[in-house]
Amino acid sequence: MFQFSTPSAEGFFLINNIVRLNIYDKFTSASLFRPLWVIKSQFTKKEKKYTSDVNYTNKERFVEITTTTIIGTNEIPDSGYIKLGTTDCPLGFYDVSIYENTSNINLDPTGLNLVYTGLMNLVCKNGTTLEDTPPVVYREYTENNTDTETVYLTLN
């Protein structure tokens, strides 16, 4: 499972999320392009498609792929600059599919070779404190004096 961070409104304006995967042996073409990512929020069921920066220098061991999460409105999906932590793409779990691509700017997975499937967890990183904000914060409910064996968890 991947752990991706997206910037909060404080401090950072972008975060480079780097993953290294042993997927080169699954490629069927000698042409090396940016892989196509399709991530789908398990909460909203909405998808985001983008190509990401890639480094094939150590391809026999791993392919290094960089996804840049940003704040603001300058999303560039065919360059790997995407906005997450929104209403459509909230914090939490995502299904991830990575495809061998036919060009650096193709955003359509139809007919492409699937080289990886997995999970991703998205958190928000505060640029001032450098701490992750979890998707859901729970606190213990301790005001039930009549039943001392039950613990209730509620949202803040």
pLDDT tens digits, one per residue of 22-67: 999 999 998 899 999 999 999 999 999 999 999 999 999 999 999 9
In 90-151, where do the E strands start and end?
A: 92-100, 113-125, 132-133, 138-141
**Two tokens, residue 120:** 């991703």
3-state secondary structure of 96: strand
Location of structure tokens 């042409």:
31
In the chain, where do the E strands start and end?
A: 2-7, 14-21, 36-41, 47-51, 53-55, 63-70, 81-82, 92-100, 113-125, 132-133, 138-141, 152-155
Determine the pLDDT at residue 88: 92
Determine the pLDDT at residue 153: 60
State if pTM tops 0.85.
Answer: no
CA dist., res. 3 & res. 67, Å (int):
12
Write out residues in the chain with pLDDT < 50, as ranges.
none
Closest Cα partner for 63 from 91, 35, 97, 93? 35
